[in-house]
Structure 1
């Protein structure tokens, strides 16, 4: 049950809808280059005050709803149930069996049976109108992320969305405006920011161990060919079909988010432009030819997504970030996760470090010897539950902690928009033969003010 004062600046749903409709600047993925360039340079009129530094309302317990209970949502529910002070009160998925399995986990954890919404792809709208949801976790196919996040905000619900938060530039601006108007946070649930290595590098960077920061790199290089053609893994071919629609970086967040944190983007620096190039699209078609029977529906698909997309992001302070995306060729998994400065650098996969004065003679150092720089979350939770090496749990624990204690979240809607903007902008850059694209200033100038982010202090649990 919520405590004390109501959330600030309640806005009627009608007024927000009207303002959102007036925001303008639509960028369909198939828009002409000239129209896209105009949109990327345009800054819609602000519709509310900034959400930078806005804390959550303090709560004795956080009431959570999960929307989408497939591979991702079905796994995340157990982590919410493992965090003290969290109540899972509602679940939504059009596949009834998935919702019922998730509900059984809630009951097995000793909580009351949650409400279940299973009547089609839009039943989330009824869930979000309940009036007793504090936070909604969205883990549905990408196409639906924007509409669900918008519905949550319009119904006064804080929302976290799996990557990417939206797929079009105008949608990113709409979420910024709606978050500001409704005074509700809309966050990209970027779990890789909470990885142990990422948080250790973050603290070292902020302490000056790498000197003045110069460059970084991040990626989503993950061979997904088998999974994308496996009907038992994804609910339908929705992820594979995106390879028939865009040529750019479909999934930049895992690589971009951590490096953005190292460099304090939106907190003293910002991403100002992106230029992208892409290889031919051959991997999925060759995999299909070698593995799929002649009658498989995938034979009707034409793949245009570059097998490897490489992007360079320039920041206002002159730093350079390299982003890569490749899910359709054979290679070991890598997020690259690199950071370099005037005193040396760190590179992941495998993890290694070389900084002055600790290392010399061109020999990499042992990163495990820098455990003293671990973030307090990893010192407090040395063996967290859940997948991805524990980073999923760290994200959930920290987010729920911020909501219970009334803290400012570690990242906000401006970070969500920035980290996702390479999806449409890399596609436009490739279509324009490598022409640079402006990355909007979603903060509207607030990035110039340093402020806290992921490198948080441990709060007092009072």
Structure 2
């Protein structure tokens, strides 16, 4: 992207924009196509790559990965779609290969889908090279990482979007419509989280053909996420994956756009689930049965907001359970809960009884889902991955502010190091930093109710 957003222009456009969670509707496309690169072609990268390859307005011109097996799979994807072979980087296993890709100067944007610890340095390098960033969730590891990513974006003006796909979930977007329409009255309390049995993700046999389950290896003996993600459970104790839960809750409550987080505290339970899984699957004599995991099995974070709402997040990935993000949106007129797909609205529902949510979802279907549901069929995570990639690409084409922007990215992601600090300090309640430096007071919600895009 040749033109670079100045900080004041970026902020002014963001404040004035009556856009949407998908694409700022007031902006027409400036360029018909974009040339994109991807750093990280593992399991997640391949899902996002498929969405890029499905599009006629995207040329994937560069791929970077230091794992030849995964880079090879990505190239086969490109071949399957009949697209031109992209330039590849990382075959020499050089961890800095991504810098060569960025320095080539032929990219309108880059997708970062690497292990978490690489997100901040890669995003910073891309923005310094004036390459717009679409970064998978987790903006950084330490609190300083988040300030560094933010300051780089503000200093360079290079667009940055956090690729949080749950903000595009069908029921989540219908509830957004309902919040904006006042169905729940004034919001009082919200809940969300990441409640997902990841034991077979954090451990496997080390066979690249079986990336999930089949053993209890991790680290250098593991494969895919077990190679890097499990170590975070060994070394860290906190809300390690907040954005799936906090993203929608922050959108509902206008965080960074008329509201902000003010205080945070976090409690963690004891750690038993991962050890028990190793013993059951690999036996008590397996070397990994001696590993001491720091991550509590259930981590609970409470956030206070400037406008009086409270938000609870729960991270629960080490025990047997069905998948759920545990959403709850509660206001003076009623509430929605996703666990039982139910809603209760005073004066509309029978007293003390739940309504099935489907009829409400149909009534308040977001215009983006009305327009793109068929196009999104077959996309990852029930269609959500189509929407999040579409948002990034269309914003690039229009040279418009990113719908999930740098302030959203660092605010949501900074919950992790703050939660770690709270737990380490005996569950102390901490002040939440204001990454917007007071601009949350004047920034406006970026959600439209039409289908002009």
Query: Which residue of 1 is the match for residue 230 of structure 2?
Result: 240
Once the two structures are superposed, what CA deviation does each residue of 1:284-340 show, in whole Å capped at 9, x if it has no partner? 111111112567553453201111000110000110000000110111111011100
2:392 counterpart of 1:405: no
Query: Which residue of 1 is the match for residue 364 of structure 2?
Result: 373
Query: Which residue of 2 is the match for residue 206 of structure 1?
Result: 180
Query: Which residue of 1 is the match for residue 83 of structure 2?
Result: 111
Q: 1:50 to 1:179 in 2, by over 3 A?
A: farther
RMSD of equivalent CA atoms: 1.9
Cα displacement (A) at 1:450: 4.2
For this pair of structures, how many residues does the alignment match?
419
2:120 counterpart of 1:165: no
Query: Which residue of 1 is the match for residue 54 of structure 2?
Result: 82
The answer on whether the counterparts of 2:260 and 2:306 sit within 8 Å (CA) in structure 1 is yes
Q: 1:448 to 1:158 in 2, by over 3 A?
A: same
Give structure 1 stretches of 5+ with no counterpart. 10-47
Once the two structures are superposed, what CA deviation does each residue of 1:69-121 show, in whole Å capped at 9, x if it has no partner? 11100111111112331111111111223223212322332332111112322
2:38 counterpart of 1:66: yes
Cα displacement (A) at 1:446: 0.9
Query: Which residue of 2 is the match for residue 226 of structure 1?
Result: 200
Q: 1:377 to 1:297 in 2, by over 3 A?
A: farther
Distance 2:449 2:128 in 1: 30
SS of residue in 1 equivalent to 2:373: coil
Distance 1:286 1:455 in 2: 48
Distance 1:190 1:174 in 2: 20
Once the two structures are superposed, what CA deviation does each residue of 1:125-149 show, in whole Å capped at 9, x if it has no partner? 1111111111111111111111111
Distance 1:459 1:169 in 2: 38
Query: Which residue of 2 is the match for residue 449 of structure 1?
Result: 442
2:322 counterpart of 1:332: yes
Query: Which residue of 2 is the match for residue 145 of structure 1?
Result: 119
TM-score (norm 2): 0.88
Distance 1:93 1:227 in 2: 20
Query: Which residue of 1 is the match for residue 293 of structure 2?
Result: 303
Query: Which residue of 2 is the match for residue 6 of structure 1?
Result: 3
Distance 2:443 2:70 in 1: 44
Distance 2:36 2:432 in 1: 33
Distance 2:53 2:312 in 1: 37
1:316-395 to 2 correspondences below 5 Å:
316-370=306-360, 371-383=362-374, 384=376, 385-395=378-388
Once the two structures are superposed, what CA deviation does each residue of 1:347-386 show, in whole Å capped at 9, x if it has no partner? 0022111112211221111211121311111001223131
Q: 1:298 to 1:141 in 2, by over 3 A?
A: farther
Q: 1:397 to 1:173 in 2, by over 3 A?
A: same
Relative to structure 2, which stretch is displaced further, 173-182 or 120-129?
Answer: 120-129
The answer on whether the counterparts of 1:219 and 1:254 sit within 8 Å (CA) in structure 2 is yes
TM-score (norm 1): 0.86
Query: Which residue of 2 is the match for residue 14 of structure 1?
Result: none
Distance 1:200 1:382 in 2: 13
Distance 2:409 2:446 in 1: 13
The answer on whether the counterparts of 2:279 and 2:286 sit within 8 Å (CA) in structure 1 is no
SS of residue in 2 equivalent to 1:382: helix
Relative to structure 2, which stretch is displaced further, 156-165 or 294-303?
Answer: 294-303
SS of residue in 2 equivalent to 1:156: coil
Once the two structures are superposed, what CA deviation does each residue of 1:198-219 show, in whole Å capped at 9, x if it has no partner? 1000111011111001010011
Give structure 2 stretches of 5+ with no counterpart. 15-23, 212-222
Q: 1:58 to 1:295 in 2, by over 3 A?
A: farther
2:309 counterpart of 1:314: no
Relative to structure 2, which stretch is displaced further, 113-122 or 421-430?
Answer: 113-122
Distance 2:251 2:416 in 1: 19
Cα displacement (A) at 1:65: 1.0
Query: Which residue of 2 is the match for residue 196 of structure 1?
Result: 170
